[in-house]
Amino acid sequence: MTKAVADSSSSLIQHFHSFFVRHGSTMKGGGRGKEPPVAGEVTGKRPKRKCLQWHPLLSKKALDFSEEEEEEDEEELEKQPELCGQDQGLQQVQCGSTTEEAEEDSNEQRARRPMNAFLLFCKRHRSLVRQEHPRLDNRGATKILADWWAVLEPKEKQKYTDMAKEYKDAFMKANPGYKWCPTTSKPLKSPSCQPVSSSPRKKVWSFSSNSTKDSTTAKKVPKTDSMPQLNFAMADPTKMGGLSMLLLAGEHALTNREIPSSTKPSLPDTASEGNSFPGDEEEMLSGTIPNRVPDITESRVKAAPSPQAESSLSAAPEGKPCRQSALFQLAEMCLASEAGKMEPVECEPEDSCPTASLQQTSGRPEGKEQAADRDDCPPSPHTSALVPSLSSVTSTSTDAIQPQLSSQNTRVKNKSKKKEGAKSNDNDEIPCSAKKIIKKCSNAESNVDSVFSTIEAVAKGAWKDTEEKPKKKIQSSLSAGNSGGPKKKSKPRVKTPVKEREEEMEEDSGQCGQYSSSEVEMKEEMADASPKAEAEEASIGSSELQGSAAEAHQSPGSSSPAKLKEEDKGKERSSDGTCDSNPENHGSRKSERSCKGALYKTLVSEGMLTSLRANIDRGKRGAFRGSDHDANWSDDSWTVSQIGPNNPKKLKKSKSKDESSQGLGKLEEEFERKFNSLPQYSPMTFDKKGTTVAKKKKTDSPVVPEEVSKAGKGPSPSQKKTSFHKIVRKHKHKKEKPGAVDKVVQSDSSMLDSASKAKSCAPVAITCPDVQGPASMEMLVGSQKRKARKTKITHLVRTADGSVSPAEEDKTRDLNQEEDKKPLPQNLCNDKGCYSHPRGAEEAERSTGPPELPAFFSLAALAEVAAMENVHRGQRGLAENQKKELGQTPVLISCADQ
DNA sequence: CAGAATGAAAC
DNA sequence: GTTTCATTCTG
């Protein structure tokens, strides 16, 4: 026994560690080189990943929440999470099934923090930003996003805020005890929350604590049942021993099957929870359980036989082959090595199986279909059946798709890991399963191995068993449910055939996914989309021509009904924006927005060099985008455009997204749906907003068009205004504060020129800083609001001639800002004077004669270029400094002059 | 892996 | 007030 126990323990450990190992070996080994989650985990640095990402679904379960506004999302979402969360260790693992990561985390498994509004916003708009500024790196994109966010109207922001809140609420429900910082468990603060668990951060998360403490509370919730149990199991290794014992005993019994009964009874809650699931037990299970990881399921199944599991047995069996003893299964697997179907059933703890199961479930998100539900293993066939469109698509474009997948796999990141798992599974499933099978077979060969495996399984099962056997079943079902991957794909495809085509062509599904996210909306969108898609294609075709062609399209597009809900404004604006229409303008426009170093680069590349560079760098995509963008952006339909255009990047993103979504499964989908439903705003919109926002606020509605049009085409003055607005906007946002901003904005909107001047004095200060900010600020490390971090400080240090203490740095920074502000204000007052600063320059360009490069601008650009080069060389510090200096200088000068 | 941003939570 | 960490992804 002891031995067995030891073994079991070891096995368990492995499971836990498996994260590391597996990921590392499997995942990475498999395909992805990029991220070695394992290593990361091991290092511990990134606890984050470890944490499972929380899905609304999770909360759902736990919550009951039906009440919540978002019920749909949450509910569905909740399910999974709950399982995972609750089970924690096991669940995690299980959950992991959904997401491999989770598995790894098993122990820790902390959930990830829910995203805040800003992050949601970023997530939703980052792609747009990137499209607009292909060259821009994420950092730059983030900055822009921040700008946008700052500009975003409260109303619009509110949506994100609400979503974030909901998300958070759901999350908290799901994880009552969840603490953002694990610290709670450990008082140690500084290190952060490290944890309890060996691994510093990750694990710590609340879960563990929750499990114990919260578990009761939180768990209280019906569903969670499994959680608590799991927790226990996780916690004690000793249990393992017990398990092992059980196993032994169980083995005899293995053969036995469990009781057929469905354990549902225990589930009721879950069932109840699963609103969507009507009555089918199976469905319910699948629906509810999504969380469960396949592994668990399997283990469970195996375990079921075990004595303890008796109840579990019942669950396990559900009739499927799964029920048989693990050994038996193994044997079967060996036999069936190839049979894809079999695989899933047998799947071991490994990801693949789970995924497979998940997929199936995902296939039927709602679980309506009972048939599948039960089987964890359900074969892909179901999925295919479920998603006809998808299947069709795949069939058609399988080639394309696979490549994508592969690429995706390669890309995996931390997150992607999870997702990856899901996706990979999809694709790989078979292969993986085969592999697994093989492995198992080998195992089977040696009794010992088989036993060992069995033990493990039992152990797992035992844990669960402890809590609820029924749940096991559920879990299994859940696991099945989890796989959302397929679903998502299916959805997108379903949504719009056209899109599908595009996807195929483009390869990227991500966009589609996003779009598609909202099924409901989809219909509408589809209608719109088709036209858009056409437009896009056309635009693509004419990518080079972009400007003209795009515009032409745009106009039509604008006419097309865009559903963009709120975005209408944006559309209009965008259309207006299009006014800018000139390619140059576009470029300038962009640059204006960003103003920051990266932007400058972009500007230089795009604006200055124009297409040449851009095309080269970007490749067709870039060109395409650029054109599209402009066109699309300007158009109301930019949203559509998003969907349409695929970029390599996008692909990646999209993939990742898809993956993630897939992994989540239905629940996730819904969540995504909501997420998708969140309005995206075109860059134009923001620009306009910058300008118009004030108006909007005033009028609230449609301010944009006029101004926009003006800005775009309008006389120089108007343009200036826009730029000015933008500046203001930035100021505002930098300075922030809505109130102030608003005021400022209004002034702008109303009219900066005369009246504003007066105000400008006050505002100016702000604006100036902004202006400078962009140039110099960007160089400056942190956001204005936040102090520079240590790391950042380092940067700053350079300023000090050598030694700059942080404080000094700050001071310096402040001084700079102040200086900037002061001078700038003057500039602002002057209006034109201000332009000296990068943005101003840009604007100046537009408005005035040398549209292309104002002196300042050119200087700045040069500086940047130089800086860039330097950077490449590796002399970043210098480069940056130079940049800063350059940037600042001009500004100062201008100010001074004025 | 750092880092850019914002926000929320925990100290 | 400060520190973490959530997302994304380039360099």
Name the residue closest to the C1' of B9 by its CA: A180
Query: What is the pLDDT, as a whole number, of residue A159?
Result: 83
CB-proximal positions of chain B, under 7 Å:
1-11
User: How far does the CA of A688 sit from the C1' of B9, in Å?
Assistant: 34
- CA of A411: nearest nucleotide by C1' is C9
Which among A668, A323, A280, A269 is positioned nearest to A473, based on CA atoms?
A323
pLDDT in tens, A637-652: 333 333 333 333 333 3
Closest nucleotide over all strands to A778 (CA to C1'): B4
Q: pLDDT value at position A218?
A: 34
Q: Round to a whole number and report the distance in Å from the CA of A811 to the C1' of C11.
A: 29
pLDDT at A597 over 60: no
Per-residue pLDDT tens digits for A749-803: 333 333 333 333 333 333 333 333 333 333 333 445 565 544 444 433 333 333 3
Highest mean pLDDT among A274-288, A669-683, A862-876: A669-683
Tens-digit pLDDT profile for residues A59-82: 333 333 333 333 333 333 333 333
pLDDT of residue A223: 34
Within 7 Å of a protein beta carbon, the nucleotides of strand C are: 2-11
CA of A114 to C1' of B7 (A): 11
- Spacing of A401 CA from C5 C1' in Å: 34
Span CA (A60) to C1' (C2), Å:
33
Say how far A773 CA is from B4 C1', in Å: 14
Nucleotide with minimal C1' distance from the CA of A781 is: B4
Q: Report the footprint of strand C: residues with C-beta closer than 7 angstroms.
A: A 46-49, 51, 53, 110, 112-113, 115-116, 118-119, 122-123, 126-127, 130, 135, 137-139, 142, 180-181, 190-193, 201, 413, 415, 649, 652-653, 656-657, 660, 786-787, 789, 871
Nucleotide nearest to A872 (CA to C1'): C11
Distance measured from the CA of protein residue A788 to the C1' of nucleotide C3, in angstroms:
13
Tell me how far apart the alpha carbons of residues A395 and A397 are, in angstroms, rounded to a whole number: 5
- Residues contacting nucleic strand B by the 7 Å CB criterion are A 36, 39-40, 43, 45-46, 113, 116-119, 122, 137-139, 142-143, 145-146, 149-150, 161, 164, 168, 179-181, 183-184, 187, 189, 193, 733, 777-778, 781-783, 785-786, 789, 791-792, 794-795
Å from the A207 CA to the C8 C1': 25
The string of pLDDT tens digits covering residues A357-381 is 333 333 333 333 333 333 333 333 3
Q: Which residues pair with A111 in a beta bridge?
A: A52
Residues A866 and A876: beta-carbon distance below 8 Å: no
Structure tokens at A188: 């140690």
Global confidence as pTM: 0.39
Q: Which nucleotide is nearest to A140 (CA to C1')?
A: B4
Q: In chain A, what are the helix, strand and coil shares in percent, each to the nearest 5?
A: 75, 0, 25
Q: What is the Cα–Cα distance from A480 to A474, expressed in whole angstroms?
A: 9
Rounded Cα distance between A13 and A23, Å, is: 14
Strand nucleotide closest to residue A184 (CA to C1'): B10
Please give the protein residue whose CA is closest to the C1' of the nucleotide B4.
Answer: A139
Q: Percentage of residues in chain A with pLDDT exceeding 90?
A: 0
CA of A807 to C1' of C3 (A): 18
Checking each nucleotide's C1' against the CA of A115, the nearest proves to be C6
Name the protein residue, with chain letter, whose CA is nearest the C1' of C9. Answer: A138
Query: By three-state DSSP, how is residue A52 classified?
Result: strand
* Span CA (A23) to C1' (B3), Å: 25
Q: CA of A81 and C1' of B8: distance in angstroms?
A: 21
Protein A737 CA to nucleic acid C6 C1', in Å?
Answer: 23
Nearest residue to nucleotide B2 when comparing alpha carbons to its C1'? A791
Give just the sign of the alpha carbon dihedral A461, A464, A465, A470: negative
Alpha-carbon distance values, A377 to A446, A688, A738, A831 (Å): 25, 53, 54, 69
Report DSSP state, residue A702.
T
Which residue minimizes Cα–C1' distance to B8?
A: A116
pLDDT at site A394 = 34
Coil/strand/helix, residue A236: coil
Confidence of residue A686 (pLDDT cuts 50, 70, 90): low
Least confident of A53-57, A144-148, A668-672, A709-713: A709-713
Tell me the CA–C1' distance in angstroms for A118 and C3: 19
Binned at pLDDT 50, 70 and 90, residue A153 comes out as: confident
b or e along A346-361 (b: 16 or more beta carbons within 10 Å of the residue's beta carbon)? Answer: bbbbbbbbbbbbbbbb
Token duo for residue A462 = 């035992």
**Spatial distance from the CA of A328 to the C1' of C7 (Å):** 44
Would the pLDDT of A149 be above 70? yes
The mean pLDDT of A384-388, rounded to a whole number, is 32
Beta strands per DSSP E along A322-468:
none
Token pair for A476? 């299994």
**Which pLDDT band, with edges at 50, 70 and 90, does A666 fall under?**
low
- Nearest nt to the A44 alpha carbon by C1': B1
Closest nucleotide (CA of A113 to C1')? C6
| Identity at A690, one-letter amino acid code | G
How far is it, in rounded angstroms, from Cα A385 to Cα A375?
A: 15
**CA–CA separation, A345 vs A322, rounded Å?**
6
pLDDT at A138: 85
Q: Which residue is nearest to nucleotide B7 (CA to C1')?
A: A116
How distant is C1' of B4 from CA of A301, in Å? 47
| Nearest-CA residue relative to C1' of C10 | A137
> Given this model, what pLDDT does residue A176 score?
76
Nearest protein residue by Cα to C1' of nucleotide C11: A137
Distance A504 CA to B10 C1' (A): 47
Separation in Å: C3 C1' and A52 CA: 22
Distance CA A835, CA A840 (A): 3
How much is the pLDDT for A668?
A: 60
Contacts (Cβ under 8 Å, ≥6 apart) of A42: A20
Strand nucleotide closest to residue A876 (CA to C1'): C11
* HSE (side-chain half, CA atoms, 13 Å) at A756: 31
Token pair, residue A520, equals 């409901």
pLDDT at A792: 44
> What pLDDT does A493 receive?
34
Q: Which residue is nearest to nucleotide B11 (CA to C1')?
A: A189
Q: Is A29 helix (H, G, I), strand (E, B) or coil?
A: helix
Q: Which nucleotide is nearest to A37 if distance is taken from CA to C1'?
A: B1
Which pLDDT does position A605 carry in this prediction? 40
What mean pLDDT value characterizes chain A? 41
> Nearest nucleotide (C1') to the CA of residue A193?
C4
What percentage of chain A exceeds 70 in pLDDT?
9
Residue A675's pLDDT band (cuts 50, 70, 90): confident
> What 3-state DSSP class applies to A564?
coil
**Nearest nucleotide (C1') to the CA of residue A183?**
B10
* pLDDT above 50 for A110: yes
Round and report the angstrom distance from CA (A551) to C1' (C8).
Answer: 30
CA→C1' distance for A189 and C3 (Å): 9
pLDDT class of A608 with cuts at 50, 70, 90:
very low
Mean pLDDT of A155-174: 83
- Mean pLDDT, rounded, for A436-456: 39
Cβ neighbours of A107 (radius 10 Å): 28
Measured CA A784 to C1' C6 distance, in angstroms: 21
Distance A850 CA to B6 C1' (A): 37
Distance A798 CA to B1 C1' (A): 23
